Amino acid sequence: MTKRAAFFDCDKTVIPGSSLYLLARGMYERDFIRVRRIASFAWGQITFRLTGSERMGLVDDIQEFALGFVKGRHREELHQLGVEIARERILPRVYADMVRIIQHHESLGHETYLVTATPLEIAEVIAEGLGMTGALGTRSELDDAGCYTGKLAGPLLHGPEKSKAVEALAVEKGFDLTECAAYSDSINDLPLLEAVGHAHAVNPEPKLRRLARARGWPIHELRTRRRALLIGIPSTVGGLGLFASGIAVGMWAARRRGNGAR
Protein backbone atom coordinates (compact mmCIF):
# COMPACT_ATOMS: atom_id res chain seq x y z
CA MET A 1 0.00 0.00 0.00
CA THR A 2 1.10 3.56 -0.68
CA LYS A 3 2.28 5.24 2.52
CA ARG A 4 0.76 8.67 3.01
CA ALA A 5 1.19 11.49 5.48
CA ALA A 6 -0.13 14.97 6.23
CA PHE A 7 2.16 17.82 7.30
CA PHE A 8 0.94 20.80 9.32
CA ASP A 9 2.53 24.17 9.94
CA CYS A 10 1.90 25.35 13.51
CA ASP A 11 1.56 29.13 13.93
CA LYS A 12 -1.63 30.61 12.40
CA THR A 13 -2.42 27.17 10.95
CA VAL A 14 -2.98 24.84 13.89
CA ILE A 15 -3.12 27.66 16.44
CA PRO A 16 -3.79 31.40 16.15
CA GLY A 17 -0.66 33.47 16.73
CA SER A 18 2.83 32.44 17.79
CA SER A 19 3.65 29.29 19.75
CA LEU A 20 7.12 30.68 20.52
CA TYR A 21 5.62 33.81 22.07
CA LEU A 22 3.26 31.72 24.19
CA LEU A 23 6.23 29.63 25.31
CA ALA A 24 8.21 32.78 26.13
CA ARG A 25 5.33 34.27 28.09
CA GLY A 26 4.97 31.06 30.09
CA MET A 27 8.71 31.06 30.78
CA TYR A 28 8.56 34.71 31.86
CA GLU A 29 5.88 33.89 34.40
CA ARG A 30 8.21 31.20 35.73
CA ASP A 31 11.03 33.78 36.07
CA PHE A 32 13.08 32.42 33.17
CA ILE A 33 13.24 35.67 31.16
CA ARG A 34 12.80 39.39 31.76
CA VAL A 35 9.81 41.48 30.71
CA ARG A 36 11.93 43.73 28.46
CA ARG A 37 12.89 40.77 26.29
CA ILE A 38 9.39 39.39 25.98
CA ALA A 39 7.93 42.84 25.17
CA SER A 40 10.57 43.35 22.48
CA PHE A 41 9.83 39.94 20.99
CA ALA A 42 6.09 40.62 21.08
CA TRP A 43 6.60 43.83 19.13
CA GLY A 44 8.50 41.89 16.47
CA GLN A 45 5.60 39.48 16.17
CA ILE A 46 3.13 42.36 15.80
CA THR A 47 5.33 43.99 13.14
CA PHE A 48 5.31 40.76 11.15
CA ARG A 49 1.51 40.62 11.23
CA LEU A 50 1.16 44.27 10.27
CA THR A 51 3.48 44.02 7.27
CA GLY A 52 2.14 40.63 6.19
CA SER A 53 5.61 39.51 5.18
CA GLU A 54 8.51 37.88 6.94
CA ARG A 55 11.83 39.71 6.78
CA MET A 56 14.91 37.57 7.31
CA GLY A 57 16.13 40.12 9.86
CA LEU A 58 13.04 39.39 11.97
CA VAL A 59 13.55 35.66 11.54
CA ASP A 60 17.12 36.09 12.78
CA ASP A 61 15.85 38.05 15.79
CA ILE A 62 13.39 35.30 16.64
CA GLN A 63 16.14 32.70 16.32
CA GLU A 64 18.47 34.70 18.58
CA PHE A 65 15.68 35.21 21.12
CA ALA A 66 14.78 31.50 21.20
CA LEU A 67 18.37 30.35 21.57
CA GLY A 68 19.10 32.99 24.20
CA PHE A 69 16.44 31.96 26.66
CA VAL A 70 17.39 28.27 26.61
CA LYS A 71 21.17 28.70 26.77
CA GLY A 72 22.61 26.87 29.75
CA ARG A 73 19.34 25.09 30.57
CA HIS A 74 19.16 21.31 30.68
CA ARG A 75 17.11 19.55 28.00
CA GLU A 76 14.94 17.74 30.54
CA GLU A 77 14.17 21.02 32.28
CA LEU A 78 12.97 22.61 29.04
CA HIS A 79 10.97 19.50 28.16
CA GLN A 80 9.09 19.61 31.46
CA LEU A 81 8.46 23.34 31.05
CA GLY A 82 7.29 22.70 27.51
CA VAL A 83 4.77 20.13 28.71
CA GLU A 84 3.40 22.53 31.34
CA ILE A 85 3.22 25.56 29.06
CA ALA A 86 1.82 23.64 26.07
CA ARG A 87 -1.01 22.26 28.20
CA GLU A 88 -1.64 25.65 29.80
CA ARG A 89 -1.29 28.05 26.87
CA ILE A 90 -0.86 26.36 23.49
CA LEU A 91 -3.10 23.29 23.25
CA PRO A 92 -6.23 25.12 24.48
CA ARG A 93 -5.83 27.50 21.51
CA VAL A 94 -5.76 24.83 18.80
CA TYR A 95 -8.44 25.32 16.17
CA ALA A 96 -11.14 22.67 16.62
CA ASP A 97 -11.43 22.30 12.83
CA MET A 98 -7.72 21.48 12.60
CA VAL A 99 -8.14 18.79 15.24
CA ARG A 100 -10.88 17.26 13.09
CA ILE A 101 -8.70 17.42 9.98
CA ILE A 102 -5.81 15.74 11.79
CA GLN A 103 -8.14 13.04 13.09
CA HIS A 104 -9.60 12.55 9.61
CA HIS A 105 -6.15 11.89 8.16
CA GLU A 106 -5.42 9.44 10.96
CA SER A 107 -8.72 7.63 10.34
CA LEU A 108 -7.54 7.06 6.77
CA GLY A 109 -4.31 5.52 8.03
CA HIS A 110 -2.16 8.57 7.24
CA GLU A 111 0.70 9.58 9.50
CA THR A 112 0.51 13.20 10.72
CA TYR A 113 3.39 15.55 11.50
CA LEU A 114 3.76 19.07 12.85
CA VAL A 115 6.40 20.93 10.80
CA THR A 116 7.51 24.18 12.42
CA ALA A 117 10.42 26.50 13.18
CA THR A 118 9.49 26.15 16.86
CA PRO A 119 12.12 24.28 18.92
CA LEU A 120 11.77 20.53 18.34
CA GLU A 121 11.20 19.81 22.03
CA ILE A 122 8.13 22.07 22.08
CA ALA A 123 6.89 20.88 18.68
CA GLU A 124 6.99 17.29 19.95
CA VAL A 125 4.93 18.19 23.01
CA ILE A 126 2.29 19.92 20.87
CA ALA A 127 2.19 17.01 18.41
CA GLU A 128 1.87 14.50 21.24
CA GLY A 129 -0.96 16.53 22.78
CA LEU A 130 -2.81 16.39 19.45
CA GLY A 131 -2.24 12.66 19.06
CA MET A 132 -0.05 13.18 15.98
CA THR A 133 2.60 10.77 14.75
CA GLY A 134 5.46 13.17 15.38
CA ALA A 135 7.02 16.56 14.76
CA LEU A 136 9.79 18.24 12.80
CA GLY A 137 11.22 21.33 14.45
CA THR A 138 14.35 23.41 14.89
CA ARG A 139 17.11 21.52 16.70
CA SER A 140 19.33 23.23 19.25
CA GLU A 141 22.85 22.12 20.08
CA LEU A 142 23.46 20.30 23.37
CA ASP A 143 26.74 19.90 25.25
CA ASP A 144 27.94 16.65 26.80
CA ALA A 145 25.95 17.38 29.97
CA GLY A 146 22.69 17.74 28.04
CA CYS A 147 22.54 21.54 28.36
CA TYR A 148 21.83 23.96 25.52
CA THR A 149 24.84 25.81 24.11
CA GLY A 150 22.86 28.66 22.56
CA LYS A 151 23.63 27.46 19.02
CA LEU A 152 21.62 25.57 16.43
CA ALA A 153 22.33 21.95 15.56
CA GLY A 154 21.37 22.44 11.93
CA PRO A 155 19.32 25.04 10.05
CA LEU A 156 16.30 26.94 11.35
CA LEU A 157 13.32 24.93 10.09
CA HIS A 158 11.86 27.76 8.05
CA GLY A 159 10.88 28.26 4.42
CA PRO A 160 12.70 25.84 2.07
CA GLU A 161 14.19 23.99 5.04
CA LYS A 162 10.73 22.62 5.85
CA SER A 163 10.40 20.98 2.45
CA LYS A 164 13.91 19.54 2.73
CA ALA A 165 13.06 18.03 6.13
CA VAL A 166 9.80 16.57 4.80
CA GLU A 167 11.51 15.14 1.72
CA ALA A 168 14.15 13.50 3.93
CA LEU A 169 11.43 12.05 6.16
CA ALA A 170 9.59 10.75 3.08
CA VAL A 171 12.70 8.85 1.99
CA GLU A 172 13.13 7.44 5.49
CA LYS A 173 9.49 6.43 5.93
CA GLY A 174 8.68 5.52 2.34
CA PHE A 175 5.99 8.18 1.81
CA ASP A 176 4.81 8.97 -1.69
CA LEU A 177 4.73 12.76 -1.49
CA THR A 178 2.43 13.01 -4.49
CA GLU A 179 -0.18 11.30 -2.29
CA CYS A 180 0.60 13.39 0.81
CA ALA A 181 -0.97 16.62 2.06
CA ALA A 182 0.39 19.82 3.61
CA TYR A 183 -1.35 22.67 5.42
CA SER A 184 0.01 26.20 5.93
CA ASP A 185 -0.98 29.85 6.15
CA SER A 186 2.21 31.35 4.73
CA ILE A 187 3.69 31.92 1.29
CA ASN A 188 7.05 31.16 2.95
CA ASP A 189 5.92 27.53 3.09
CA LEU A 190 5.35 27.38 -0.67
CA PRO A 191 8.24 24.90 -1.15
CA LEU A 192 6.52 22.56 1.32
CA LEU A 193 3.11 23.00 -0.28
CA GLU A 194 4.57 22.35 -3.74
CA ALA A 195 6.41 19.26 -2.52
CA VAL A 196 3.16 17.35 -1.89
CA GLY A 197 0.29 16.35 -4.11
CA HIS A 198 -2.42 17.88 -1.94
CA ALA A 199 -1.70 21.42 -0.73
CA HIS A 200 -4.10 23.27 1.57
CA ALA A 201 -4.08 26.96 2.49
CA VAL A 202 -5.24 27.64 6.05
CA ASN A 203 -6.05 31.21 7.10
CA PRO A 204 -3.85 32.22 4.15
CA GLU A 205 -2.05 35.52 3.87
CA PRO A 206 -2.99 37.46 0.69
CA LYS A 207 -0.20 36.11 -1.56
CA LEU A 208 -0.93 32.52 -0.64
CA ARG A 209 -4.67 33.05 -1.00
CA ARG A 210 -4.25 34.34 -4.57
CA LEU A 211 -1.95 31.46 -5.44
CA ALA A 212 -4.26 28.87 -3.87
CA ARG A 213 -7.21 30.21 -5.88
CA ALA A 214 -5.18 30.15 -9.09
CA ARG A 215 -4.08 26.56 -8.51
CA GLY A 216 -7.37 25.29 -7.14
CA TRP A 217 -5.99 24.41 -3.70
CA PRO A 218 -8.56 24.10 -0.89
CA ILE A 219 -8.72 27.15 1.36
CA HIS A 220 -9.68 26.74 5.02
CA GLU A 221 -10.69 30.02 6.64
CA LEU A 222 -11.02 29.37 10.35
CA ARG A 223 -10.87 32.96 11.57
CA THR A 224 -14.47 33.63 10.57
CA ARG A 225 -15.66 31.19 13.24
CA ARG A 226 -13.09 31.96 15.88
CA ARG A 227 -11.62 35.46 16.14
CA ALA A 228 -7.85 35.29 15.80
CA LEU A 229 -5.89 35.31 19.05
CA LEU A 230 -2.89 37.29 17.91
CA ILE A 231 0.17 36.31 19.98
CA GLY A 232 -2.17 34.77 22.51
CA ILE A 233 -4.17 37.91 23.35
CA PRO A 234 -7.87 38.27 22.38
CA SER A 235 -8.26 40.90 19.68
CA THR A 236 -10.96 42.65 17.72
CA VAL A 237 -11.59 42.10 14.03
CA GLY A 238 -9.16 43.23 11.34
CA GLY A 239 -6.18 45.57 11.52
CA LEU A 240 -7.34 47.31 14.70
CA GLY A 241 -6.97 43.98 16.48
CA LEU A 242 -3.25 44.03 15.74
CA PHE A 243 -2.84 47.41 17.38
CA ALA A 244 -5.04 46.31 20.27
CA SER A 245 -2.78 43.32 20.80
CA GLY A 246 0.27 45.57 20.80
CA ILE A 247 -1.29 47.90 23.34
CA ALA A 248 -2.33 44.94 25.47
CA VAL A 249 1.21 43.57 25.50
CA GLY A 250 2.60 46.97 26.45
CA MET A 251 0.07 47.46 29.23
CA TRP A 252 0.65 43.95 30.53
CA ALA A 253 4.42 44.52 30.60
CA ALA A 254 4.02 47.89 32.28
CA ARG A 255 1.78 46.42 34.98
CA ARG A 256 4.36 43.72 35.70
CA ARG A 257 7.12 46.33 35.95
CA GLY A 258 4.95 48.46 38.22
CA ASN A 259 4.42 45.47 40.48
CA GLY A 260 8.15 45.00 40.76
CA ALA A 261 8.43 42.24 38.16
CA ARG A 262 11.84 41.63 36.71
Residues 6+ apart with CB under 8 A from 110: 4, 5, 6, 180, 181
Q: Is position 189 annotated as part of the catalytic site? A: no
Of the candidates 32, 113, 45, the residue with the CA atom closest to the CA atom of residue 78: 32
Residue from 11, 31, 143, 144 carrying the catalytic annotation: 11
Q: Read out DSSP for the chain?
A: --B-EEEE--BTTTBSS-HHHHHHHHHHHTTSS-HHHHHHHHHHHHHHHHHTS--HHHHHHHHHHHHHHHTT-BHHHHHHHHHHHIIIIIGGGS-HHHHHHHHHHHHTT-EEEEEEEEEHHHHHHHHHHTT-SEEEEE-EEE-TTSBEEEEESS--S-THHHHHHHHHHHHHHTB-GGG-EEEES-GGGHHHHHHSSEEEEES--HHHHHHHHHHT--EE--TTTS--EETTEE--SSHHHHHHHHHHHHHHHHHHHHTT--
Q: Is position 9 annotated as part of the catalytic site? A: yes
Residue from 9, 144, 176, 185 carrying the catalytic annotation: 9
Residues taking part in catalysis: 9, 11
